[in-house]
Amino acid sequence: MSKNQTINIITLGCAKNLVDSEVMLRQLQAAGFNTSHEDAANADVVIINTCGFINDAKEESVNTILHWAKARKSGDIDKLLVMGCLSQRYKDDLFKEIPEVDAFFGVNDVNAILQSLNATYREALLGERVITTPSHYAYLKISEGCDRNCSFCAIPGIRGKNISRTIESLVTETEFLAEKGVKELILIAQDLTYYGLDLYNKRMLPALLEELVKVSGIEWIRLHYAYPAGFPLELLDVMNKHSKICNYIDIPLQHINSRILKSMHRGIDEEGTRKLVQTIREKVPGIAIRTSFIVGYPGETAKEFAELRDFIRESEFERLGVFTYSHEENTPASQLDDNVRPAAKARRAEELMLIQQDISAARNKSFEGKSVQVIIDKKEDGKWIGRTQFDSPEVDNEVVITDNSGTLAPGSIVNVSITSSDIYDIIAVYPEN
Ligand code: SF4
């Protein structure tokens, strides 16, 4: 491998995978390689960071590998490496089936990948990354792995046990990101609210936030992947105490029916779920709750689905995602009969998203005539696209802004006036009226 070669990383899957790619890019740059992300135009080496969570994601990963295996075979690229969750989960099968790939690596193999490129891992770069998101926001992965045992989920088997990072190392990384111009810090993990239990023998997310809010330059802090069972209620007090912490929480609930929640090993039942949602709304007025549900779980009856539908209708979650159950081998649920037909799964998912469209449209309408704070992401067709504190990048709503000042730029945090809205987006002007 000569150092003037270009190495391109392709990241599939979630933001946690993206952070792994960013760490890898920083090490490769320090080793003297030219690097690129999601742009293989001039690449000599391609590294695919795969996702192996559910069927659709696995399919996308395999297709991406096959695409680049052809390029490797034809000599368009000199080396093809595969890392990440799919590779961790199916390394031996993939190795047999796609021999064009030079090497398969797991999820925590930065060192081994560097060695395969005749480079060495630099400990001194811990906490440093190449930011691949727009430079005003970045993800902070506060722990790796998961100690839970949700019946439908393959992640603990792929990513291993929960390993929390120290508060000091996370503050150092946040200072690094702030120096690079990051204003919005998005906290991620497999199970955010579990943070610290392994390292400090207690839940330390509130304590971590108390330190992160002190980092100058960071203006917004957003929380993703909270877990309902054992939810640390003191977190809500910290959210109220610091305006830097967005009035937003992502907390996948998965279902509402107690029989199904029990079968899913979620550690919480219908009553506990309802109580938690109510407490979050009471303790943090105006909070936007993002959640997600699974439909078509083994044995889900029409009546149990109806309970979920009614719960979503009455709860009016601000942001919602719906997944159809995917039968994953080596998960507890793989022992169950995947008896809900694909068409029924799809129909149930669509029914819930139609309900959510009405909820989202009504909520967006409630903003018309008001002023809200937004962060500017990008320019599209002469308009600036931004987000409120109730919207996370890539997954939530957007604000389409007419800038009458000519001063807006990516990363600007300003108040805008809402003039109209539709199901998912709101329309605004700046400066505000
Ligand atoms: S909390 Fe449950 S769903 Fe989330 S990664 Fe862990 S086992 Fe999977």
Distance CA 406, CA 241 (A): 34
Pocket of ligand 1 (CB under 6 A): 146, 148, 150, 153, 155-156, 190-191, 227
pLDDT score, position 433: 83
pLDDT per residue as tens digits for the range 273-294 = 999 999 999 999 999 999 999 9
Question: Which pTM was predicted?
Answer: 0.96
Over residues 306-323, mean pLDDT: 98
The pLDDT confidence band at residue 70, using thresholds 50, 70 and 90, is very high
Q: According to the model, what pLDDT value does residue 4 have? A: 77
Q: What's the pLDDT score for residue 158? A: 96
Average pLDDT, whole number, for the chain? Answer: 96
Residue 1 reports pLDDT greater than 80: no
The alpha carbon of 165 and the centre of ligand 1 are apart by a number of angstroms equal to: 18
pLDDT digits (tens, 9 = 90+) for 110-153: 999 999 999 999 999 999 999 999 999 999 999 999 999 999 99
Q: Would you say residue 64 has pLDDT above 70?
A: yes
The residue-averaged pLDDT of 182-208 equals: 98
- pLDDT at position 379, please? 97
Rounded to the nearest whole angstrom, what is the distance from the C-alpha of residue 41 to the centroid of ligand 1?
Answer: 36
Distances in whole angstroms, Cα of residue 334 to Cα of each of 192, 297, 302, 330, 402: 26, 11, 21, 6, 51
In the chain, what are the domains?
6-125 (3.40.50.12160), 137-365 (3.80.30.20), 371-430 (2.40.50.140)
- Of all protein residues, the one whose alpha carbon is nearest to atom 2 of ligand 1 is 150
Token pair, residue 42, equals: 């001039």
pLDDT at residue 36 is higher than 90: yes
- pLDDT surpasses 80 at 80: yes
Atom of ligand 1 nearest to the CA of 159: 5
pLDDT of 322-359, one tens digit each?
Answer: 999 999 999 999 999 999 999 999 999 999 999 999 99
Which is the closest atom of ligand 1 to the Cα of 254? 3
Ligand 1 center to 149 CA (angstroms): 7
| Beta strands 371-380 and 413-421, pairing class | antiparallel
Tell me how far the alpha carbon of residue 248 lies from the centroid of ligand 1, in angstroms: 20
Q: What is the pLDDT of residue 40?
A: 81
HEC states along 21-84?
Answer: HHHHHHHHHHCCCEEEECCCCCCCEEEEEECCCCHHHHHHHHHHHHHHHHHHHHCCCCEEEEEE
Q: Which atom of ligand 1 is nearest to the CA of 191?
A: 1
User: Ligand 1 centroid to 371 CA: how many Å?
Assistant: 37
